[in-house]
Structure 1
Amino acid sequence: MDGQLLLVLLLLLLGASGPWGQGPGPEGPSEEPLKEEFPEEKVTEEENGILVLSRRTLARALQEHPALLVEFYAPWCGPCKVLAPEYSKAAALLAAELATARLAKVDGHAEPELTEEFSVTEYPTLKFFRDGDRLHPEEYTGPREAEGIAEWLRRRVGSSATRLENEEGARALIDAQDVVVIGFFQDLQDEDAAAFLALAQDALDMTFGLTDQPELFQKFGLTKDTVVLFKKFDEGRADFPVDEELGLDQGDLSRFLLTHSMHLVTEFNSQTSPKIFAAKIPNHLLLFINQTLAPHQELLAGFGEAAPPFRGQVLFVVVDVGADNDHVLRYFGLGAEEAPTLRFIDMDTTKKYAPAAGELVTAAAITAFCHAVLSGQVKHYHLSQEVPPDWDQRPLKTLVGKNFEQVAFDETKNVFIKFYAPWCPHCKEMAPAWEALAEKYKDHEDIVIAELDATANELEAFAVHSFPTLKYFPAGPGRKVIDYKSTRDLETFSKFLDSGGQLPAEEPTEEPVAPFPETPANSTTGPKEEL
């Protein structure tokens, strides 16, 4: 008994804590809490008003700030460097307004655990965390300039629409902006009002109001729930009644607002082009005029007169050939001297249409042209340069739209074609190898090495969306086409040709390509870089 007592006393003296430092044993009380892998650290590091976070400090930041917008970036990322000054300006704008909202950033290259946790696959990526919810951040898809970033956050932290209680407040809101959207809802707690507010969070280029006051329903001639767009141009007002059975459809309302917030006739410039492409109306009718010429300006009245019946179906756009719009003229294959003239484009298919030669630009002619295109009575056209007289005199042949078919699909030839853009750096980089390839095979009667400027020539067979695009057209029937996606050097090109359009399995690889630049048929969003 004495021996057992002595053993117990000895264990108590030597084993005061359990095997992992958690107390005397599995049932004994713990005198201090479990320690996490990283001790809790206060978030203090900042750069230009932006919190600098890591895996050690993110959790604390989420606790301290109910609204947190986090940018995942990489030090080498070009688009991140472009965003940086705007992000800092946005932080400064918000600092004086929203005490609960902060901007932060994480070096994703240095914090791979966080990029994996939040599924970051490209830089910059921005995610919005609300009320400390780490599991369900909202993807940021807003603007990449300071005021847009700040406004995006304002509408999520505060209300996305101004609450209106009387006519005076409503009139003041309407008078303050060119476009104002007011939701009239008899019950502000129902799903339709919530859907309206959710849509307002992202429609940053419009001002929103909200009311349930019977006085305002009466003042604006309404008897049921309606969203009204007030504007200081065209017809001045457009109503979107809420379906009493189906409720408010956000998609339908979004399209309605985009359509009716635009002028019936919009002049194309750097400010209006993003809205033109965002309108989700595929059909565009363009009037090319020289605004400095009085006879050209007189055509605007007829153009505007023809527009109302086509609202929501065709966008009417004016392009001033005397302004900085050369890229638009090139896209349609026009010269400034051809104005005034019309062109119609289907943005979904990029098919272009032209009126009959010599057709006058009058309201009646414009209306008839639109109806003819929409009903399929007008054949679309393709851009093509003229065939150069010496197109086949050099080892490297020059193709254009007008001679492409006869060369590419010649059943007696194996034709290897580079589709390029004059401005494309990747095309310029591979040009010497392509010239060398043409020189190497110049005496092979059954092999043609050629190039085609895809910015000035369009093809019926297929569209080219990136540069350089390389395609091989083997001899024989069937109009076969093989895409080349391997290394762009003379040796690999030669192996490809010598094997009849095939490469060993281990060799295929894709090299960089340049997308189309921003054009009327191809606008782009903010740049990003993949991890």
Structure 2
Amino acid sequence: MDGQLLLVLLLLLLGASGPEGQGPGPGEPEEEPPKEEIPEEDGILVLSRRNLGLALREHRTLLVQFYAPWCGHCKALAPEYSKAAALLAAESAKARLAKVDGPAEAELTEEFAVTTYPTLKFFRDGNRTHPEEYTGPREAEGIAEWLRRRAGPSATRLEDEDGAQALIDGRDVVVIGFFQDLQDEDVATFLALAQDALDMTFGLTDQPKLFQKFGLTKDTVVLFKKFDEGRADFPVDEELGLDQGDLSHFLLTHSMRLVTEFNSQTSPKIFSAGILNHLLLFVNQTLASHRELLAGFGEAAPPFRGQVLFVVVDVGADNGHVLRYFGLKAEEAPTLRFINMETTKKYAPAHGGPLTATSVTAFCHAVLGGEVKPYLLSQELPPDWDQRPVKTLVGKNFEQVAFDETKNVFIKFYAPWCTHCKEMAAAWEALADKYKDHEDIIIAELDATANELEAFPVHGFPTLKFFPAGPGRKVIEYKSTRDLETFSKFLDSGGELPAEEPAEEPAAPFPETPANSTTEPKEEL
């Protein structure tokens, strides 16, 4: 029995190291399992639940796009995303781009709380639990630059005068931080801001000779620019240190020209500048007499820097949406308009005198001092405004109709371009037809892009409001399903709905125009 057991063991040992490739012989190294490769498409890593961990281990900085094959916004982003990957690859950059098919990878979309497409998240140093939400540009160079600033230093270290001068000469706007101690926490604040200020180039130095060259004796952030004053200094508070919010506002304010011409390239910066008051000069740049006004307009601007943004709008260019927003026609140029971006209140000069530096300055002071009343846009009242089941309201007849104490008035505030408004148009017409014989009920609509109301602003489209009969100017906002049945229940109950009624669909933001639409749309899951 013992001999048989010994024979079996001997055969097993021989089989484990035999010549048929069943295992390595004595002294031979064991074969390593093949290394897993992450698939790529157009230089973009294709990730899944199975290989995300590997990608995070292999790449210190990783931008991941969660997309859906059916998503229109994802398809629009795709070519720019691929170009950004190519730019980074050409530079041998450490940062990589990746993508995840969200619907196919439900576990990952749930793990990272992805609810809309496209959603982009930035992972650093393999940290899977706290990725940074990407809110940067959606064009190739902007995506690449955003990643460059995170993968490498966001500011160039300057050691001598030649390097500093070369940096300043190379760009229209350059920001240099002069810090006596580069280990100071103010430097970290400066570098963090530099990561996101992609339209500016940043440098930093601790060299005494550079402090001396630029006339500095204390820590200071200096903005160099090839226009207007040429330079603006932001001294670091010796007690409080460098406040990122204050520095950001300073850089936004001083990196803009004293007078900015409105166009598709400058509009995002105009609306993100954080300056609430805007003064607009409408001119026709093809006319010499109009161009001559620009000098006086610019002469008035310096005392208002940081308080009022001076903007030139060429009525001869593709700026019709701006004219409509202010209720202007091209032939009314040259003229001024003032707007507060927070309240959306608009102001016009009381008299059409000559546009000089003196008159522009006086108009600004008058508006800021509360001496000028805002004006409200209103279309002309159509003669047949009450002949259809859906009544037409404009600014001039709104108060009279909406607050008629003998009527229950249900009003749709809409924009001609609003998709949600168009989708509910048939239901609104059907509602008006259903109640056309009820003398105490009025169904109406008002184009809120062409008519403004003193009673309240309209911030989204469609906005639906019910004005019940009786005293007190009562207003009830409708926030439920936009269909005939639910509209009818709401009217029949005097402006109330059961608590279980579903919430309304999202409203389009106001105003949604090329002029100020700077956020990137997303598609919901």
Tell me, yes or no, if structure 1 residue 325 matches structure 2 residue 329. no
- Determine the structure 2 residue equivalent to 1:472: 466
Q: How many Å separate the matches in 2 of 1:41 and 1:525?
A: 42
Contact 1:43 1:53 in 2 (8 A): no
Which secondary structure state, in structure 1, belongs to the residue aligned with residue 50 of structure 2? coil
- Determine the structure 2 residue equivalent to 1:198: 192
- Determine the structure 2 residue equivalent to 1:44: 38
**What root-mean-square deviation, in Å, do the aligned CA atoms of Structure 1 and Structure 2 show?**
1.8
Tell me, yes or no, if structure 1 residue 70 matches structure 2 residue 61. no
The one of 431, 445, 450 aligned to 2:444 = 450
Q: How many Å separate the matches in 2 of 1:417 and 1:128?
A: 45
Contact 1:43 1:60 in 2 (8 A): no
- Determine the structure 1 residue equivalent to 2:180: 186
Q: How many Å separate the matches in 1 of 2:483 and 2:115?
A: 30
Measured against aligned partners, the alpha-carbon deviations of 1:398-418 in whole angstroms (never above 9, x if no partner) come to 100111011001000001111
The one of 463, 482, 486 aligned to 1:488 = 482
User: Any residues of structure 2 matched to 1:201-212 within 5 Å, and which?
Assistant: 201-212=195-206
Contact 1:351 1:381 in 2 (8 A): yes
The farther-off stretch of 357-366 and 347-356 is 357-366
Which secondary structure state, in structure 1, belongs to the residue aligned with residue 474 of structure 2? coil
Shift of residue 315 of structure 1? 0.2
- Determine the structure 1 residue equivalent to 2:95: 101
Tell me, yes or no, if structure 1 residue 354 matches structure 2 residue 360. no
Contact 1:77 1:123 in 2 (8 A): yes
- Determine the structure 2 residue equivalent to 1:422: 416
Tell me, yes or no, if structure 1 residue 435 matches structure 2 residue 436. no
One-letter amino acid of the structure 2 residue matched with residue 152 of structure 1: W
Q: How many equivalent residue pairs?
A: 493
Contact 2:322 2:515 in 1 (8 A): no
- Determine the structure 1 residue equivalent to 2:391: 397
- Determine the structure 2 residue equivalent to 1:524: 518
- Determine the structure 1 residue equivalent to 2:9: none
Contact 2:321 2:515 in 1 (8 A): no
Distance 1:227 1:506, change over 3 A: closer
Shift of residue 195 of structure 1? 1.2
Contact 1:40 1:57 in 2 (8 A): no
Q: How many Å separate the matches in 2 of 1:98 and 1:128?
A: 19
One-letter amino acid of the structure 2 residue matched with residue 261 of structure 1: S
Q: How many Å separate the matches in 2 of 1:99 and 1:160?
A: 14
The one of 171, 181, 184 aligned to 1:177 = 171
Q: How many Å separate the matches in 2 of 1:487 and 1:183?
A: 54
Any unmatched runs of 5+ in structure 1?
1-38
Contact 2:154 2:202 in 1 (8 A): yes
Tell me, yes or no, if structure 1 residue 459 matches structure 2 residue 453. yes
Percent sequence identity over aligned pairs: 86
- Determine the structure 1 residue equivalent to 2:223: 229
One-letter amino acid of the structure 2 residue matched with residue 90 of structure 1: A
The one of 245, 250, 253 aligned to 1:256 = 250
- Determine the structure 1 residue equivalent to 2:134: 140
Q: How many Å separate the matches in 2 of 1:53 and 1:252?
A: 40
Measured against aligned partners, the alpha-carbon deviations of 1:477-507 in whole angstroms (never above 9, x if no partner) come to 1111122233333333233222222334444
Any unmatched runs of 5+ in structure 2?
1-32
Q: How many Å separate the matches in 1 of 2:417 and 2:124?
A: 44
Shift of residue 441 of structure 1? 2.0
One-letter amino acid of the structure 2 residue matched with residue 329 of structure 1: L
- Determine the structure 1 residue equivalent to 2:11: none
Measured against aligned partners, the alpha-carbon deviations of 1:21-51 in whole angstroms (never above 9, x if no partner) come to xxxxxxxxxxxxxxxxxx9982421111111
Shift of residue 435 of structure 1? 2.3
The one of 100, 109, 113 aligned to 1:119 = 113
Tell me, yes or no, if structure 1 residue 371 matches structure 2 residue 369. no
TM-score, structure 1 normalization: 0.89
Tell me, yes or no, if structure 1 residue 84 matches structure 2 residue 99. no
Shift of residue 64 of structure 1? 1.0
Shift of residue 508 of structure 1? 4.0
Tell me, yes or no, if structure 1 residue 383 matches structure 2 residue 377. yes
Q: How many Å separate the matches in 2 of 1:515 and 1:247?
A: 38
Contact 2:180 2:207 in 1 (8 A): yes
Which secondary structure state, in structure 1, belongs to the residue aligned with residue 382 of structure 2? coil
One-letter amino acid of the structure 2 residue matched with residue 239 of structure 1: D
Contact 1:91 1:103 in 2 (8 A): yes
TM-score, structure 2 normalization: 0.90
Distance 1:342 1:520, change over 3 A: farther
The farther-off stretch of 440-449 and 325-334 is 440-449
Measured against aligned partners, the alpha-carbon deviations of 1:256-315 in whole angstroms (never above 9, x if no partner) come to 111111100000000000111111000000000100111111110110000000000000
Tell me, yes or no, if structure 1 residue 501 matches structure 2 residue 495. yes
Q: How many Å separate the matches in 1 of 2:498 and 2:113?
A: 35
The one of 205, 211, 234 aligned to 1:217 = 211
